[in-house]
Amino acid sequence: MDVLKLQVDVSTELNEFGKNEIRIQTNKDKSFQLRIGYWEKLDYSIIKKIQDKFHISFTEEILEDEDCGMLYSYDVYWELPPIEDEEPMSNCCSDPFTFPGWPDSDMCSQCKEHADEWDPEELEELEESLESLVDNNPDDGSWVGR
Ligand SMILES: [Zn+2]
């Protein structure tokens, strides 16, 4: 599972639930922080659907602000496969190829389908689509550092 792809998938899904002002902050560990609009609370039904679909888990973080009331953000956790050194990854699942590895094997170890090597340009496309989906504003001090 590629983190960026997960962020795109989750943002797309949230858009489909009518949640548009999405902000994402990637954490160092296996998680990222998610915020909707002005610290909007997500319905549990939406969280449940997204958790089940992508096999991830949401943790609700609530901050009580004197002026603004309750502020909600979410930590999203996932399980990443162990990272192998510089190993070519499949372009379908971004997982390693089956033994003896690319280019001798073109079978993805995750979905067992023939695949091509992960293309860095595809990563750029993912980055661009994430940018178009989320509303991150680096100048917004209220989000950074919270
Ligand atoms: Zn695959």
Better pLDDT: 142 or 139: 139
Predicted local confidence at residue 23, as pLDDT: 95
Residues 6-62: pLDDT tens digits? Answer: 999 999 999 999 999 999 998 877 789 999 998 999 999 999 999 999 989 999 999
Please tell me the distance between residue 109's alpha carbon and the centre of ligand 1 in angstroms. Answer: 7
Predicted local confidence at residue 145, as pLDDT: 41
Nearest CA-CA partner of 50 in 5, 80, 1, 12: 12
Please tell me the distance between residue 116's alpha carbon and the centre of ligand 1 in angstroms. Answer: 9
Please tell me the distance between residue 111's alpha carbon and the centre of ligand 1 in angstroms. Answer: 4
Is the pLDDT at 1 greater than 60? The verdict is: no
Please tell me the distance between residue 2's alpha carbon and the centre of ligand 1 in angstroms. Answer: 12
Please tell me the distance between residue 103's alpha carbon and the centre of ligand 1 in angstroms. Answer: 15
Is the pLDDT at 142 greater than 80? The verdict is: no
Give the C-alpha separation, 42 to 11, whole Å: 13
Residues 71-117: pLDDT tens digits? Answer: 999 999 986 545 545 678 888 888 889 988 888 899 999 999 999 98
Predicted local confidence at residue 87, as pLDDT: 76
What lies within 8 Å, CB to CB, of 142 at 6+ separation is none
1-38 burial, b at 16+ Cβ within 10 Å, e below that, comes to bbeebbbbbbbeebeeeebeebbbbeeeeebbbbbbee
Residue ranges covered by each domain of the chain:
3-77
Predicted local confidence at residue 35, as pLDDT: 95
